[in-house]
Chains A and B, each alone.
Chain A
Amino acid sequence: MIKFIARRVLFSIPVLVISSFIVFWGIRKTFDPTAKYRTSKDAARLIAEKRKEFGLDKPIVVQWWNWATKFVRGDWGVSTSTNGKVTDMVSRALGFTVQLIFWGVVISLVIAVVSGVYSAVRQYSVADVAFTGLSYLGVAMPPFWFALLAIQFLSVEPKLHWHLAHPIVYFVGLHSTGQSGFNLDYIRHLALPVLTLTVQTVAVWSRFQRAAMLDVLSADYIRTARAKGLPRRKVIFKHALRNALLPLVSQTAVDAGALFGGLIITESIFSIPGMGRLFLAGLLAGDVNVILAWMLVGAVFVILFNLLADVVYGFLDPRIRVT
């Protein structure tokens, strides 16, 4: 197993190196980080200073090499927009995104597994049809639209209708001012963004779970187990579910890894300064140091979660041996 992990990590290094260069080249070619200084009344001086400071007067390969060698030493550079350390910006943003992803994934998994299994076991029942219909609805609803609806009908309208001092659930940030940690205020702030995140993931994951469960339930060994007279509950939860979880595990790992960089809409609407907003701000400003750090952190998470999926896969299914 250790060899397997080491090999996967080693294979990922050239991927990261090449992708970082492509992104570096792409950003340098499409964004001019000195563009915002054009409106300064003495743009000539400022732009000349900044070109030197950002190393724009050097060949692109040299620029990238300078960045890469510093990056591996832990110096991720300084944002060209804020003059702040990129390490600080990324770690701060990551903290917010981790919270959203953790709760989103945990809640989505629970709902997806329960509804998926129930739909499969009670195929074509009213509940199955209802879950299927809702999942299509969930997939079809764009997050920005759902988020604004959720704000309107779960926060603003109840507050105005019942003349409440504060909304039941908040939609700005993850804490009220002066609050921190895990408490009721946190849950009231977390409710809507997590709901927005889970609507689509539950919709997709529950379909995976239903299909996998149906597949397993029609397998010979399940028929044998039933023929042997094992209780239905034991057949479903002990023999079928464990195998039916395999596709969902892969999907969850891949999705969760990708989510670390991709919650742009949810974070923007709910004013959560996570990785998605960091990416958007960096991209709009052509802030190459921020974008590269964001990309590499995102890539590391994708690789890490894929690795985790493989490990868990082997753990759940003894037939799969990692060599």
Chain B
Amino acid sequence: MINTRRSTVAALALGLTLVSAACSSDSKKVSEASSTTAASTATTGASTATTGGSATTAAPASSAAPASSAAPDTTTATTDSGAAPSGTVTIGVEQEWDCMDWMGSCGGSTYGSWSAQYFTTARPYDYVKGSDGEWAYKASNLLTGEPTISSDGLTVTYKINPKAVWNDGKPITSTDFKYTWDQVAHGKDIYDTSVYKDVSAVDDSDPATVVVTYSKVNASWQDLFESYGLYPSHILDGKDRDAETKDGYTWSAGPYQLVKWDKGVGATFEPNPNYWGTKSKIAKIEEKFFADTAAEFQAFKAGEVDTIGPQPQLDAIDAINAGGLPGKSVVDGNTGNVEALWINNAAAPFDDVAVRQAFAYAIDRDAIVNKLFGGIGVTKAVQSLNPPILAKYSDQAAFAGYTLSLDKVTSTLTAAGYAKGSDGIWAKGGKKLSFVLKSTAGNKRRELTEQVLQTQLKAAGFDMTISEQKAGDLFGTQLPAGDYVVALYAQTATTLSPGLSTIFLSTNIPSDANNNSGQNWTRTNIDGLDPLLTTVDTETDPAKRAAAAKSADDLLAKNVASLPLDPLPNIGFYGDKISGDFSVNVVQGPWWNINTWTVKS
């Protein structure tokens, strides 16, 4: 019996010890990791000072090594008015980012960009909404003014703002631009090298001037250095960039610097004391990662988080319509998204333009948008395959002629040789107008869209069946292979440059010539379209570029290469505890100007 009791006590003690260790293990790991980071960065600073004789300001190691709780000079940070920043804003982040090497293959997370990348990196351009409501590039405070482009479009010169410094106090120089370009163009494991690969050289002979030379004209030259921001050469040069950044970095050229990334749980940011732009009025940003949208809304309702930026899914819209949420919400349909019915132009029966046109006349797209987003004020379908933010490079009324008209369905299909069968379905040569609509499984918004479509199309004489696919299968295999007829999904623009050539240029139809990696998955091949899209890619005159883009849009609409539906509105929620100018930046998300917010006392 004594042995039994001893065993029981021992087992209980062991269990408690294990749990106790588990309870505190995570925080220990974070602090250990932070210490390691601090140590390695400090070493970096030392070696840079020793080997890189060009280091202009020999900042002390502690300054060059901002890490976790020992981040540099945070306590001395002040706002522009001289007051110390105060309060904490807690952000609910719907998806944790995979890594913080933004240019690496593990980067590319929208929420990572919104809630970490834009807080800590600098880039030549800001995304600004003009008084006309259109988004445009505007030179950021990283530069002294707009870059200049040579008359042949091959050389772009940037002048760096002399006030621009990293958070360790070292100036941002042309070498940082060169390092960033070199990593993207020639480094390993890069997510996307477009634009960068057209650059032949970056001249950093003058630390304050960056001269970028292109090997061929690229009309999207303003996208250079935008997607990834600048990386600090004085910290990363000669090192494994991905290893140094993927688990978080403490350098910053943005308004905040990372203090801690507790994986799976959240992240903490504090103001960058050396930020030369509008200094943060907030002392700390806490981020909490959510895996469940319902819990995210409950947390916002309960005040556990002060702001959220959910995806426009039905549960988010239901939560808005149900009311009872504190603070203010912002819904903006002027987005970089286009949810559309992407049509395989090479697959029967949609290889016939008449069928595609009849298909467009058979759908009441406004009714679908109203059903999905009417409750939050978005009621009209988009009328271009370019997203709304690219309005100046698109004809935003290109598809406006395609409204529900069963008469036009009848006339178009009858002229094409179709006749309605006894079951009410159109047929030609014994083949019915039957097709499968593919989409991603588990998306309630798309399920609802499919149900409405099915009803509308049946009334028009189309026989549509629904097939839900795993996203990996749909985007990884079926769409590239052309194994679909019509698919419902969204395309998202991450810059303000028009990019339809990627998905509609005939040379991008997957083939052996492009190693089957072309992204013209709709197999669109319309006479006269390629020259227009090529002009959009290479014409540096904005007016000529816009004209070509609009003509391309009209051609796509005339041939119904695909059918746009809705803009997937951007949504932001801002609680009662905070005040500021709340809006959703079309590229930088709902927290783009958080440094200008204040926390109410």
Contacts and interface: CB of A to CB of B under 8 A. Distances in A.
A34 interface: yes
B288 A159 contact: no
A81 B98 contact: yes
B22 A98 contact: yes
Contacts of B157: none
A181 B302 contact: no
A158 to B, nearest CB: 9
A155 B304 CA distance: 10
Interface in B287-311: 288-292, 294-295, 298-299, 301-305
A99 B263 CA distance: 17
Contacts of B473: 30, 32, 35
A116 interface: no
Contacts of B193: 41-42, 45
Interface stretch (A61-69, A89-97, A125-133, A299-307): A89-97
B263 A273 contact: yes
Given A46-B191, A102-B19, A180 B303 contact: no
A175 B108 CA distance: 29
Contacts of B263: 89, 92, 273
A103 B19 contact: yes
Interface in B1-48: 4, 15, 18-20, 22-29
Contacts of A181: 20, 23-24, 27
A268 to B, nearest CB: 4
B298 A180 contact: no
Contact of A37 (B191, B197, B289): B191
Contact of B99 (A43, A82, A170): A82
Contact of A167 (B19, B286, B289, B302): B302
Contact of B26 (A84, A92, A172): A92
A31 B502 contact: no
Nearest to A156: B302
A92 B29 contact: yes
Contact of A271 (B18, B197, B290, B480): B290
B403 interface: no
B101 interface: yes
A227 interface: no
B126 interface: no
A253 B26 CA distance: 26
A81 B514 contact: no
Nearest to A40: B192
B290 A84 contact: no
Contact of B519 (A38, A148, A151, A286): A38
A44 interface: yes
B169 interface: no
Contacts of A84: 99, 246-247
A83 interface: yes
B189 A41 contact: no
B242 interface: yes
A48 interface: yes
Contacts of B28: 180
Nearest to B33: A88
B292 A271 contact: yes
B321 interface: no
What range describes how many residues of B lie at the interface?
A: 35 or more
B303 A159 contact: yes
Query: Which of B291, B473, B514 has the most chain A CB within a 10 Å cutoff?
Result: B291
Contacts of A45: 193
A102 B13 CA distance: 12
What range describes how many residues of A lie at the interface?
A: 35 or more
Given A40-B192, A46-B191, A92-B26, A160 B301 contact: yes
Contact of A151 (B24, B298, B499): B298
A211 interface: no
Interface string A162-190: 00001100111111010111100010000
B482 interface: no
Contacts of A44: 514-515, 517
Interface in A45-89: 45-50, 53, 81-84, 89
A39 B192 CA distance: 9
Contacts of A175: 27, 265
A39 B22 contact: no
A269 interface: yes
B20 A182 contact: yes
Interface string B430-464: 00000000000000000000000000000000000
Given A44-B515, A82-B106, A148-B295, 16 more contacts: A35-B472, A36-B472, A36-B476, A42-B194, A42-B197, A92-B264, A98-B19, A102-B18, A106-B15, A171-B298, A172-B288, A172-B304, A271-B292, A273-B264, A277-B264, A284-B471
List of 3 A-B pairs having minimum Cβ-Cβ separation, nearest first = A273-B264, A35-B476, A180-B27
Interface of A: 30-32, 34-50, 53, 81-84, 89, 92-93, 95-96, 98-99, 102-103, 106, 148, 151-152, 155-156, 159-160, 166-167, 170-175, 177, 179-182, 186, 267-273, 277, 280, 284-286, 315
7 contacts: A32-B472, A36-B476, A39-B519, A99-B22, A102-B18, A271-B295, A277-B264
Interface of B: 4, 15, 18-20, 22-29, 98-99, 101, 104-106, 108, 188-194, 197, 242, 246-247, 263-266, 268, 286, 288-292, 294-295, 298-299, 301-305, 470-473, 475-477, 479-480, 499, 502, 514-515, 517, 519
